Amino acid sequence: MSEKKKNPTRPLPNTKELDTQEFWAATKNKEFKYQQCDSCHKVVFYPRRHCTGCTSGKLVWKTASGKASVYTYSVVRQSYHPFFRNMVPYVVAWIDLEEGPRILSNVIGVDDPLNDVSIGQELQLEWEEHEDLFIPLFRPV
Amino acid sequence: MSQKRDAAIVGIHEYPTRDVEGEVSPLQIKAESAARALEDAGLNWSDVDAIYDAGDGGGMSGLNIAEYFGLNPTVIDTTGVGGSSYEYHAAHAKRDIAAGKAKVALLTYGSTAHSNAFAIGVGARGGASMHPAENMDSFAGQTLVSNYAMVAQRHMYQYGTTSEQLAEISIATRLHAMRNPEAVQAMEDLEFLDIRETTINDVVNSRMIADPLHLLECCMISDGGGAVVIASPEVARDCKKPPVWIIGTGEATKYPEPGGDITTSAAAQSAPIAFGEAGLTAAEMDIAMIYDSFSITVMTMLEDLGFCKKGEGGDWVTGGRLRFDRPSDGPALNTDGGGLSSNHPGMRGIFLLIEATRQLRGESTSQVEGAKLAVAHGNGGMLGSRHSAGTIILGGD
């Protein structure tokens, strides 16, 4: 059995993907970056090169504070993924950052995921460290 | 009514086997279904001049599928938007026929998802991707079930919807499945543990897969496929069965955005266009064929299609309202047994058109007496993130 099969890891993003590479590069400095248009002020997330609110604006990178809340969530009881199958039950959630971006992530650090997570719950960003990038996860405040 | 009747469904076939044990390919299912649907219409391969294909038989389908069938079509449409592709194909076939570009359109679907043991609902998702959206979403371990469960969780939070109300969708669908011999055979072949009519308690006491969705709120994974033939009025008049007219179509997509409302689907955009074209409202529908990948998919779409107001779906479905023998007004839901209990090989949209056509011909195993109008609404992709909506309004002759 290969090393990879023995110790399955979280699926990690591709750091070379051209729209999102700046986001993932910044995670190594523990910065959650998002974009806002300097002309129409629309917040754009996931990252792109073009503003989706107007045709003339330039997107400017900003750094989020890390304050966030649960928009919605589910507790996964069954997964066949080699990494996540050993994590059940775990929490996946759409999480709203204070500045506007909504990201799919995990709520971590709860003793009982079935009872300790709720919509509207306040969260703080926390980084899970990997070699080429850090993963943004969220812990109840 | 001032509907335009410029294209009609004239031939249908649903591939009966849900477990082909790896012995039949998706392409073979497509071709077999096409031949049977053409026979149903009283047409032949040589009558087909337009092909619609979602790529389920392999890549570059627009290049390869005509050769496989042995046809020389002059309209080739390969719209692939997931499970609702067939509602898009029906809309495009109507448009192409009305424009005089085609007379006989062929839609086909084949899949061996069950034989391939492809774990659609709880399987591995994620990893490195070269699409930016996937590259942001893939690290969290989201399963397909949990994606839809997040819609249900927010629906419950915002509107007070309960698991018991969602279960109404599962039990109405199972009731219809138990009346459909092919659905019963499907559940036997796919080794369902307890094949019978279900109660609300059965559903809410079944195993939780991803909170708040239980096992009996999730569709099956089968093999299967089917075909639909759509023709011009001139051709339709000479076909074997009465035509079922396509009288309204609508398309839309939706995706996550800052501040977006996950409880409203792309159907809220596609449905008014389709009903507007038909000059009808949801309240006038006898039949609702709505993509039941999960209970919450139907709940959301009943609201977005306009059967009731947003957030009122829970109360609205209560008391067996969706059964074919319902006591009150309103549509019968998924009278073939749906994806929950009859047929879901991955992209169910074609079966919505097929069963709606059976109802308007008077051929369903859960026939609604005098059914004249039906809506077929497909959902593709994932409801809790990016998804496609296709709404088709059908009228009997």
Is any Cβ of chain B less than 8 angstroms from the Cβ of A43?
yes
Quote the DSSP letter at residue B46. G
Is any Cβ of chain B less than 8 angstroms from the Cβ of A48?
yes
Is residue B114 within 8 Å of B18, Cβ to Cβ? yes
Domains along chain B with CATH numbers = 8-116+221-395 (3.40.47.10)
CB < 8 Å to B126, chain A = 11, 81
Mutate which: B116, B120, B136, B214, vs A, most A CBs within 10 A: B136
Residues facing residue B228 across a β-bridge: B12, B107
CB < 8 Å to A90, chain B = 141
Is any Cβ of chain A less than 8 angstroms from the Cβ of B63?
no
Sign, CA dihedral B349-B354-B360-B364, equals negative
Interface pTM, i.e. ipTM: 0.96
Mutate which: A19, A36, A59, A76, vs B, most B CBs within 10 A: A76
Is residue B314 within 8 Å of B240, Cβ to Cβ? no
Whether residue B142 and residue A92 make contact (CB cut-off 8 A), yes or no, is: yes
Cβ within 8 Å of residue B191, ≥6 positions away: none
Nearest CA in chain B to A90: B141
CB < 8 Å to B258, chain A = 43, 45, 96, 100-102
User: Cα separation of B214 and B237, whole Å?
Assistant: 47
For residue B396, the surrounding DSSP H or E stretch is: none
Whether residue B384 and residue A76 make contact (CB cut-off 8 A), yes or no, is: no
- Per-residue model confidence as pLDDT tens for chain B (397 residues): 468 899 999 999 999 999 999 999 999 999 999 999 999 999 999 999 999 999 998 888 999 999 999 999 999 999 999 999 999 999 999 999 999 999 999 999 999 999 997 666 776 655 555 799 999 999 999 999 999 999 999 999 999 999 999 999 999 999 999 999 999 999 999 999 899 999 999 999 999 999 999 999 999 999 999 999 999 999 999 999 999 999 999 999 999 999 999 999 999 999 999 999 999 999 999 999 999 999 999 999 999 999 999 999 999 999 999 999 987 778 999 999 999 999 999 999 999 999 999 999 999 999 999 999 999 999 999 999 999 999 999 999 9
Q: How many CB pairs under 8 A join A and B?
A: 136
CB < 8 Å to A14, chain B = 128-130, 135
CB < 8 Å to A17, chain B = 129-132, 135
Closest-CA distance of chain A to residue B251, Å: 21
Whether residue A73 and residue B151 make contact (CB cut-off 8 A), yes or no, is: no
Whether residue A17 and residue B131 make contact (CB cut-off 8 A), yes or no, is: yes
Look at the pTM and tell me if it is higher than 0.90: yes
Determine how many CB atoms are found less than 10 A away from the CB of residue B300: 27
